[in-house]
């Protein structure tokens, strides 16, 4: 409707033309109002989506911060557990070394006893100069080496018995002479 573009045309227009112009302006205002309502609805929908997206983003950030803190706490707990385990392993290793040293000493002592086991039995009765002292020492040694005891040793018990019998015979022959 190019004829409605200028004010001069409106001033010289006839009644029919003015009616036609009014009808055109009315239709155009209705169309623009309808398009404006569509645009407003789209803007409202977009604003709602933006608000929802901001809310979702805020929730995600909150959850992310919570997860970060939880991960940080779990990492600290894990580090503490690792430190405790390291200390435990260090203690176990030091205990193992001590036990190995003690085991080596014990093995050496056992080896020494095997090499010199007969002289060892004489050592047990060294300094015994009477029958009463011999019997007392024998009872004490049996309390230590008897196989029924927790730390008893059958071989040592046999060696002590053999030496006791030898010394007992010696004392008997000495007393008879």
Q: What is the pLDDT along the chain (177 residues), one digit of tens a residue?
A: 454 446 767 778 788 888 888 899 899 999 999 999 999 999 999 999 999 999 999 999 999 999 999 999 999 999 999 999 999 999 999 989 988 888 888 777 766 555 555 455 567 888 888 889 999 999 999 988 888 888 788 888 888 898 899 888 888 887 776
Q: Is the pTM of this model over 0.85?
A: no
Among candidate residues 23, 16, 21, the one with its CA nearest the CA of residue 4? 21
Q: What are phi and psi of 149, to 5 degrees?
A: -75, 160
């Amino acid at each position: 409707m190019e004829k409605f573009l200028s004010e001069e045309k409106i001033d010289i227009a006839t009644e029919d033309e003015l009616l036609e112009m009014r009808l055109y302006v009315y239709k155009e205002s209705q169309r623009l109002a309808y398009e404006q309502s569509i645009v407003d609805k789209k803007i409202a929908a977009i604003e709602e989506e933006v608000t929802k997206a901001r809310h979702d983003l805020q929730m995600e950030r909150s959850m992310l911060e919570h997860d970060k803190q939880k991960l940080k706490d779990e990492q600290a707990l894990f580090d503490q557990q690792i430190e405790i385990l390291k200390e435990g392993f260090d203690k176990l290793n030091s205990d193992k070394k001590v036990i190995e040293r003690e085991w080596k000493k014990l093995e050496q002592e056992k080896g020494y006893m095997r090499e010199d086991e007969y002289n060892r039995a004489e050592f047990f009765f060294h300094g015994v100069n009477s029958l009463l002292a011999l019997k007392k020492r024998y009872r004490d040694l049996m309390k230590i080496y008897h196989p029924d005891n927790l730390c008893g040793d059958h071989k040592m018990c046999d060696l002590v018995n053999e030496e006791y019998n030898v010394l007992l015979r010696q004392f008997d022959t000495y007393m008879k002479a």
